[in-house]
């Protein structure tokens, strides 16, 4: 990478669905990167039951960031480090909400380091108001009829309402 090359960061995850905490991490990343690819994984490291398809998640993330041309969501299959190489990025971004995230994040970052030493993982800490927020809690609260409007952006809220008929 030459000093004048644009910095392309990748923010990978499940984003099922994207929360305002994820959005906060994405916006923080744009303080240090010129472009951000939000990479929605077909294969998550932890077993999860998905609510939205990967395609639905990509579409809704692109809607959330429609006004910012620096941000684009893409789906990826297989290894993250291969995807990073394919899109010409050496910078993987993850959010760290609490100490409970640390072990899982360290494992993934170090595995990615082993697989591809040229790729760096950097962590951003979200605004404190989002430190408790997770996609799984949003899914659960929405599925039980709770109001999640302050935790997700309008395109995500609309999809949740469609899913749960609220
Ligand atoms: O939001 P998540 O589910 O915690 O994100 C995890 C994700 C998707 C970033 C991770 O599972 C991943 O990178 N999956 C792609 C497969 C891969 O590269 N695995 C090896 C590195 S751990």
Query: 127 to each of 20, 24, 30, 82, how far by Cα in Å?
Result: 10, 7, 15, 31
pLDDT digits (tens, 9 = 90+) for 74-108: 999 999 999 999 999 999 999 999 888 999 999 99
pLDDT digits (tens, 9 = 90+) for 17-49: 999 999 999 999 999 999 999 999 998 888 878
The predicted model scores a pTM of 0.95
Is residue 22 part of the annotated active site? The answer reads yes
Mean pLDDT, to the nearest integer, of 106-116? 98
The Å distance, Cα 144 to ligand 1 centre, comes to 28
3-class SS of residue 150: coil
The Å distance, Cα 165 to ligand 1 centre, comes to 30
């Amino acid at each position: 990478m030459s000093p004048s090359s644009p910095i392309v960061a990748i923010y990978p995850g499940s984003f099922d669905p994207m929360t305002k905490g994820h959005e906060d991490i994405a916006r923080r990343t744009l303080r240090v990167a010129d472009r951000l690819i939000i990479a929605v994984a077909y294969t998550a490291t932890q077993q999860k039951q998905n609510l939205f398809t990967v395609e639905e998640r990509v579409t809704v993330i692109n809607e959330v960031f429609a006004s910012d041309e620096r941000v684009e969501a893409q789906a990826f299959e297989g290894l993250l480090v291969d995807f990073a190489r394919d899109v010409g990025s050496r910078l993987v971004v993850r959010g760290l909400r609490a100490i409970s995230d640390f072990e899982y994040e360290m494992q993934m970052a170090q595995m990615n380091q082993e697989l591809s030493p040229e790729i760096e993982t950097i962590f951003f800490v979200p605004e404190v108001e989002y430190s408790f927020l997770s996609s799984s809690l949003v899914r659960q609260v929405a599925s039980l009829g709770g109001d999640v409007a302050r935790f997700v952006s309008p395109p995500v809220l609309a999809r949740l309402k469609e899913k749960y008929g609220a």
